[in-house]
């Protein structure tokens, strides 16, 4: 039987997952057997109840889930052999791997599953906004490392304006403009002056970090009552949907910024592949000469898309202030922009891929927090490393070939190619 | 002689003009965020004088805190006035080394954002050998430095290996490795091996006196032998780049990787050895920082040395000598910034803004040329990173 390179990679991935499952089955199911019970809680607020909580003997749970996972992984191998996508197999195997681990890790303890997932989405929101911003830039051929700066600028501006006006709405309106301002610098220097985009993005981040730190110390701390006591949006439960068990509290009982995020993700994934704008955007990112030859103004469209990207990530920045705690704190984005960039790459520069990666990173982050709160023996630092290690694995091509848009980062000038 | 002078003037003009612009623009931020200045908005004359004096005081404090402070001479002798300068050098020492780590990578067409993580690993290695073992003084220092260098060279080399084998872009890998190093040091400082006895906050024991770098100007000054190590390292990098075959290969790959490949140079071997060497340099920075001035490993030992290193290398135009000067300059800004923060109402963080602006202008000579209407500004081709597919 001859396999293509893609199939070989898929098989390699399944083999790794299978190996981990066997290790889990042995370690958690037999070697480190404990008589404790693990409790999964599903009820968070006032949603309709189907299941309140689920209690299982931790060893039994690990055995069951490892077993299911192993079967799923074997199914995945058969799917590859019959030239089909192994996704159903690997997805179930991955999920079982996680559940088997949780049954063991939280033995004798309570895991609030719905809360865990709701928190994951909240941590993923800035990542998804950021990766959408990166997507808009990079699909049109401009590398955006300045996502961190855009998020931070958005957070700062919305926090300060909401505090000065006592209105969350003003904060929400100003945030995209702050992000777009950073984008304006990015676009001007990258497109007009052909400055190296990676260096430029890096420098813009330093600039925004420096400026916000400076103003924070100079104005926000000494005059905090006027400058840094912004209000924040309350959660807005969507009728009926918000009452759905498990799904309701996770997705439909969030602040307005999260709902805006759904809309933006939907709009971008639709427009990028189904509209004239999307086709042109992808064209200037892949082959600007060809796009130019059919009359598309490459640099003008790039300029516009970069500004658009700034609006999106600036809005994402508002999530840190008016979207959650209200007040601004120093460097509060804490590297979310870089993880958003990683999510974009992990998701192979596609909207849905980036969103999935963002959710996964958010989940890994929140899981490590939850596990350290309930007191699990694995050092939380190692849990926190997971998204970063996963990204390195992803870009190393172990999961699948990751390819950036062909003209990403290459300034375009007519006749120079 | 005249030609040499012209060359120096030519290559110093762009940094100088960028510098002027950066200080000029930052002056506006300082003035317009100051409460005293804002109070006088209604009176143009008073407004201008207050604004000028606020900015002037801030920049004066920046100078006093980084070079020479006459207030310190009273009762301690004239030389004591240079205490700020010695502090500048202490701050600049790790910056020179991390700056070289970024500059060398630029020379072979790589963008090393990972100096931060490599620095941390160098500090961990040096600290461990420094506090855990006992050797005779000179040997102990040497072994601790080597331990730091080896740890960091492996950490940096990993980036090169991944890039050469799988094409993983070094920018993404190094960003990720910086975070991993950050979490790693948090964890390692909780282990019984590293945690200082009877302490719960993350701090390792002090390195033994035999592993500490000697002071150069007496016990009153923190100035230590690390600066000599850094200068030797800078010379070493210059020598490698300009006087060895491997250095020529580095530059050839940096200038045009496919041409270098055609000429028979193994690009993957260059990538791996460059990144390992960069790691070694940044790691040496971490080691020197621990053995020379900090003595104890802490969770925030890395500070922002790795990130500042990028601005340093860019300002130094990826040249060893330029990097030394740039590091001294940023060391001065950092050190002086602390004095400025305590003596005036201007926070240290404006220094970050100044740094970012300087580099931004240096990276866009077209703009500087346009603003100052000068014609032949020398630009530097070494300062480009390659896109994701490069």
Tens digit of each residue's pLDDT (9 = 90 or more) over B305-330 = 988 999 899 888 889 999 999 999 99
Which whole number is the average pLDDT over A331-359?
90
In this structure, what CATH number is given to the domain that contains residue B229? 1.10.3470
pLDDT value at B298 more than 70: yes
Which whole number is the average pLDDT over B180-200?
92
Least confident range from A200-204, A329-333, B5-9, B185-189: namely: B5-9
| The model's pTM | 0.89
Which whole number is the average pLDDT over B54-78?
87
What is the Cα–Cα distance from A340 to A132, expressed in whole angstroms? Answer: 8
**Which residues contact residue A253 at a Cβ distance below 8 angstroms, ignoring those fewer than 6 apart?**
A45, A118, A235, A236, A237, A238, A242
Pick from A335, A387, A385, A328: nearest CA to A126? A335
The answer to whether the CB of B180 falls within 8 A of the CB of A385 is yes
What confidence category does residue A297 fall into, taking pLDDT thresholds of 50, 70 and 90?
Answer: very high
Count of positions (residues) in chain B: 390
A99 vs B380, higher pLDDT? A99
DSSP letter assigned to residue A33: -
Chain B CB contacts of A404 under 8 Å are 387-389
Which whole number is the average pLDDT over B358-372?
85
Percent over 70 (pLDDT), chain A: 98
Instruction: Look at residue B315 in the predicted model and tell me its pLDDT.
Output: 84
- At A2-28, the pLDDT tens digits run 778 778 878 888 888 899 889 888 888
Containing A358, the helix (H) or strand (E) segment is helix A351-374
As given in the structure block, the two tokens for residue A201 are: 């993005």
B387 within domain boundaries:
no
B386 within domain boundaries:
no
B201 vs B273, higher pLDDT? B273
pLDDT value at B237 more than 50: yes
Which whole number is the average pLDDT over B332-356?
91
Instruction: Look at residue B382 in the predicted model and tell me its pLDDT.
Output: 47
Note whether A214 contacts B179, CB cutoff 8 Å.
no
Instruction: Look at residue A345 in the predicted model and tell me its pLDDT.
Output: 83
- At B324-342, the pLDDT tens digits run 999 999 999 999 999 999 8
B385 within domain boundaries:
no
Percent over 90 (pLDDT), chain B: 61
Which whole number is the average pLDDT over B85-96?
95
B314 vs A285, higher pLDDT? A285
What is the Cα–Cα distance from B112 to B125, expressed in whole angstroms? Answer: 21
CATH assignment of A127-395?
A: 1.10.3470
What is the Cα–Cα distance from B386 to B390, expressed in whole angstroms? Answer: 5
Closest Cα in chain A, distance from residue B384 (Å): 6
pLDDT value at B209 more than 90: yes
B36 vs B173, higher pLDDT? B173
Dihedral angle computed from the Cα positions of residues B268, B273, B275 and B277, in that order, rounded to the nearest 10 degrees: -170
Which whole number is the average pLDDT over A354-364?
90
What is the Cα–Cα distance from B333 to B92, expressed in whole angstroms? Answer: 10
Instruction: Look at residue B367 in the predicted model and tell me its pLDDT.
Output: 84
SS3 per residue for B83-132 = HHHHHHHHHHHHHHHHHHHHHHHHHCCCCCCCHHHHHHHHHHHHHHHHHH
A residues 144-173 near B, CB within 8 Å? 145
Chain B CB contacts of A379 under 8 Å are 187, 190
Note whether A193 contacts B367, CB cutoff 8 Å.
yes
Chain B CB contacts of A413 under 8 Å are none
As given in the structure block, the two tokens for residue A348 are: 């192979």
Chain A CB contacts of B177 under 8 Å are 388, 392
A residues 322-381 near B, CB within 8 Å? 335, 338, 341-342, 345, 379, 381
Helix axes A168-187, A147-165, angle to 10 degrees: 150
pLDDT value at A311 more than 50: yes
Chain B CB contacts of A341 under 8 Å are 172, 175
Full residue range of the structural domain in which residue B88 is found: 2-372
Instruction: Look at residue B279 in the predicted model and tell me its pLDDT.
Output: 97
Q: Long-range contacts for B192-201 (Cβ within 8 Å, ≥24 apart)?
A: B193/B128, B193/B132, B194/B127, B194/B128, B194/B297, B196/B296
What confidence category does residue B278 fall into, taking pLDDT thresholds of 50, 70 and 90?
Answer: very high
Instruction: Look at residue B186 in the predicted model and tell me its pLDDT.
Output: 94
A403 vs B127, higher pLDDT? B127
B389 within domain boundaries:
no
Note whether B366 contacts A193, CB cutoff 8 Å.
yes
Mean pLDDT, all residues of chain A? 88
SS3 for A356?
helix
pLDDT value at A201 more than 60: yes
> Which chain B residue's Cα is nearest to A196?
B384
Instruction: Name the segment(s) of chain A with CATH classification 1.10.3470.
Output: 127-395
pLDDT value at A41 more than 90: no
What domain count does chain B have? 1
What confidence category does residue B287 fall into, taking pLDDT thresholds of 50, 70 and 90?
Answer: very high
Instruction: Look at residue B119 in the predicted model and tell me its pLDDT.
Output: 98
Instruction: Look at residue B388 in the predicted model and tell me its pLDDT.
Output: 64
Closest Cα in chain B, distance from residue A396 (Å): 5
Is the Cβ of B366 closer than 8 Å to some Cβ of chain A?
A: yes
pLDDT value at B390 more than 70: no
B residues 75-114 near A, CB within 8 Å? 111, 113
pLDDT value at A300 more than 90: yes
């Amino acid at each position: 039987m001859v396999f293509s390179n893609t199939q070989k990679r898929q098989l390699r991935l399944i083999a790794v997952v299978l190996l981990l499952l066997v290790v889990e089955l042995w370690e958690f199911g037999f070697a480190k057997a404990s008589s404790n019970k693990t409790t999964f809680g599903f009820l968070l607020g006032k949603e309709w109840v189907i299941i309140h909580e689920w209690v299982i003997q931790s060893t039994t749970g690990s055995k069951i889930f490892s077993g299911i996972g192993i079967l799923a992984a074997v199914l995945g191998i058969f799917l590859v052999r019959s030239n089909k996508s192994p996704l159903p197999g690997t997805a179930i195997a991955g999920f079982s791997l996680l559940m088997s681990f949780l049954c063991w890790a939280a033995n004798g303890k309570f895991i609030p599953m719905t809360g865990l997932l709701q928190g994951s989405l909240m941590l993923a929101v800035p990542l998804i906004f950021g990766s959408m911003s990166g997507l808009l830039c990079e699909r049109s051929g401009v590398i955006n490392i300045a996502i961190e700066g855009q998020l931070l600028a958005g957070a700062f501006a919305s926090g300060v304006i909401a505090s000065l006006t006592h209105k969350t709405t003003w904060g929400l309106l100003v945030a995209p403009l702050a992000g777009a301002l950073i984008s304006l610098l990015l676009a001007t220097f990258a497109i007009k002056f052909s400055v190296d985009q990676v260096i430029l993005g890096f420098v813009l981040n330093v600039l925004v970090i420096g400026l916000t730190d400076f103003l924070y110390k100079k104005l926000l701390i000494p005059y905090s009552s006027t400058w840094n006591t912004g209000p924040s949006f309350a959660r807005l439960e969507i009728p009926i949907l918000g009452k759905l068990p498990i799904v309701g509290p996770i997705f439909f009982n969030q602040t307005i910024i999260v709902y805006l995020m759904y809309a933006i993700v939907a709009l971008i994934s639709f427009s990028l592949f189904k509209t004239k704008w999307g086709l042109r955007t992808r064209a200037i990112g892949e082959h600007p000469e060809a796009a130019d030859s059919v009359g598309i103004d490459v640099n003008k469209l790039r300029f516009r898309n970069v500004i658009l990207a700034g609006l999106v990530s600036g809005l994402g920045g508002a999530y840190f202030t008016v979207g959650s705690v209200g007040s601004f704190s120093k460097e509060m984005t804490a590297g979310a922009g870089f993880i958003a960039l990683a999510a974009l790459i992990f998701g192979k520069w596609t909207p849905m891929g980036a969103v999935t990666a963002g959710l996964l990173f958010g989940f890994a982050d929140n899981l490590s927090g939850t596990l350290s709160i309930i007191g699990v023996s694995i050092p939380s630092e190692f849990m926190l490393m997971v998204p970063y290690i996963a990204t390195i694995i992803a870009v190393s091509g172990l999961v699948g070939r990751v390819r950036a848009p062909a003209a990403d980062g290459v300034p375009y000038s007519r006749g120079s190619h | 002689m005249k030609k040499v002078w012209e060359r120096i003037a030519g290559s110093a003009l762009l940094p100088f003009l960028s510098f002027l612009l950066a200080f000029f623009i930052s002056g506006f931020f300082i003035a317009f965020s100051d409460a005293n200045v804002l109070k006088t908005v209604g009176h143009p004359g008073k407004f201008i004088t207050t604004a000028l004096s606020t900015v002037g005081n801030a920049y004066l404090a920046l100078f006093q805190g980084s070079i020479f402070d006459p207030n310190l001479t009273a009762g301690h002798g004239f030389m004591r006035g240079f205490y700020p300068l010695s502090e500048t050098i202490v701050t600049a020492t790790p910056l020179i080394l991390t700056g070289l780590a970024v500059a060398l990578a630029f020379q072979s067409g790589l963008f090393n954002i990972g100096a931060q993580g490599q620095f941390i690993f160098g500090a961990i290695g040096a600290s461990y050998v420094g506090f855990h073992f006992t050797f005779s003084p000179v040997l102990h220092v040497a072994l601790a430095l080597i331990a730091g260098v080896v740890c960091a060279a492996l950490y940096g080399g990993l980036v090169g290996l991944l890039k050469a084998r799988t094409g993983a872009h070094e920018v993404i890998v190094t960003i990720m490795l910086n975070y991993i190093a950050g979490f790693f040091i948090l964890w390692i400082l909780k282990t019984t091996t590293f945690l200082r006895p009877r302490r719960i906050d993350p701090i390792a024991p002090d390195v033994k006196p035999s592993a500490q770098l000697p002071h150069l100007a007496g016990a009153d000054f923190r100035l230590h032998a690390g600066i000599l190590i850094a200068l030797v390292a800078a010379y070493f990098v210059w020598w490698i780049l300009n006087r060895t075959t491997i250095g020529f290969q580095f530059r050839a790959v940096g200038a045009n990787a496919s041409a270098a490949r055609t000429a028979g140079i193994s690009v993957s071997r260059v990538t791996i050895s460059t990144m390992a060497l960069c790691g070694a340099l940044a790691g040496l920075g971490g080691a020197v920082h621990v053995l020379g001035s900090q003595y104890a490993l802490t969770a925030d030992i890395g500070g922002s040395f790795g990130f500042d290193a990028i601005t340093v290398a860019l300002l130094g135009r990826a040249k060893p000598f330029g990097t030394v000067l740039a590091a001294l300059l940023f060391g001065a800004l950092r050190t002086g910034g602390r004095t400025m923060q305590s003596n005036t109402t201007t926070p240290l963080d404006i220094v970050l803004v100044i740094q970012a602006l300087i580099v931004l202008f240096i990276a866009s000579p077209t703009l500087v040329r346009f603003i100052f209407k000068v014609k032949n500004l020398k630009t530097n081709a070494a300062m480009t990173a390659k896109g994701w597919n490069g």
